[in-house]
Amino acid sequence: MRVCRQKFTEALMTGVFYAAAFSILIVFAWIVGDIVRHGFDQINWEYLTTAPERAGRAGGIAPILVGTLLLMLVSLAASVPIGVASAVYLSVYAPPQDRFAHGVRRSLDVLSGVPSIVFGLFGYLVFCQALHMGWSILSGGLTLACMILPMLIRATEEGLRSVPGSYRTGSAALGISTGSALWRLILPAAMPGIRVGLILGIGRAMAETAAVMFTAGGSIRMPDGLMDPVRSLAYHIYILAIEIPGGQRRAYAASLVLVLLLLMITLASNVMMQRFVRKRIFVH
């Protein structure tokens, strides 16, 4: 009787887990299918290479697409070095009971839950006003970097902690310095965690509206430099869907472009991470 009950419980729990995973696929397919159904017929080469017209009801999204990519590049250039270095300190160099490291971790946990509009106000006051950057790509990118940092640091830290301790002890036994072991062995082994942090950070930043609205502005002209204002793709979707009568189908088209852009970034990051790991492990 007990064996039958255990088998029934195991089968029930397995069914629940499969149902939960399958429900995620259903929701994902539903959302993507709805976006494709309403927005695919709006996308063509002209849509991707021309500027918006009639407040976005006509024309394309070329300046908005360029502005979104520049915002991402600035945010990643500012957040990745700081995030990885901070995670290395917290997981490798900080003592186990260090109060400073403990305070940094608690601060990161709090920052991860801060609403995006708070980051937008912070970026506006600090980057736009105090540092006199104004509404610009640089202000928006640095604000997005502040949003990315908490999840990037924690994901990288967890990835570094998941590396087996034998990597460190074996390197020390062979006389390899801590820095060389970190660069050649530990970081490549922790790349899955770093990649997860990057994808989550990029996804949050690309879908952000409030922070970009406060710091990057809403210009639909092609930017000439990092000090020019731009409108992000997510903010453009919000404007079309909420404030522009008759702009819903164009909002679906811009949403589809945003999803495809995020997919391409994810695939590109996978390829670059794999090449980095192979290069660091097998070349050295």
Q: What pLDDT, in 10s, does the model give residues 125-134?
A: 999 999 988 8
Q: Read off the tokens for 111.
A: 């920052």
User: Could you tell me how many residues make up the chain?
Assistant: 284
Tens-place pLDDT, residues 68-106: 889 988 998 898 889 888 888 888 787 777 888 888 888
The mean pLDDT of the chain is 82
What is the per-residue pLDDT for 92?
78
pTM of the complete model: 0.83
Are 212 and 137 contacting, i.e. CB atoms less than 8 angstroms apart?
A: no
Of 36 and 95, the one with more pLDDT = 36
Structure confidence at residue 283 as a pLDDT band (50, 70, 90): very low
Q: Read off the tokens for 199.
A: 């994808």
Residue 223, SS3?
A: coil
Are 197 and 122 contacting, i.e. CB atoms less than 8 angstroms apart?
A: no
Residues whose CB is less than 8 angstroms from the CB of residue 114 and which lie 6 or more positions away in sequence, other chains included: none
Say which residue the tokens 């210009």 belong to.
219
Q: Read off the tokens for 54.
A: 């009639």
Q: Read off the tokens for 277.
A: 């790991």
Residues whose CB is less than 8 angstroms from the CB of residue 113 and which lie 6 or more positions away in sequence, other chains included: none
Tell me, what amino acid is at 53? E
CA distance 164 to 28: 34
114-143: average pLDDT: 90
Tens-place pLDDT, residues 211-255: 888 898 888 888 888 899 998 888 888 888 888 887 788 888 888
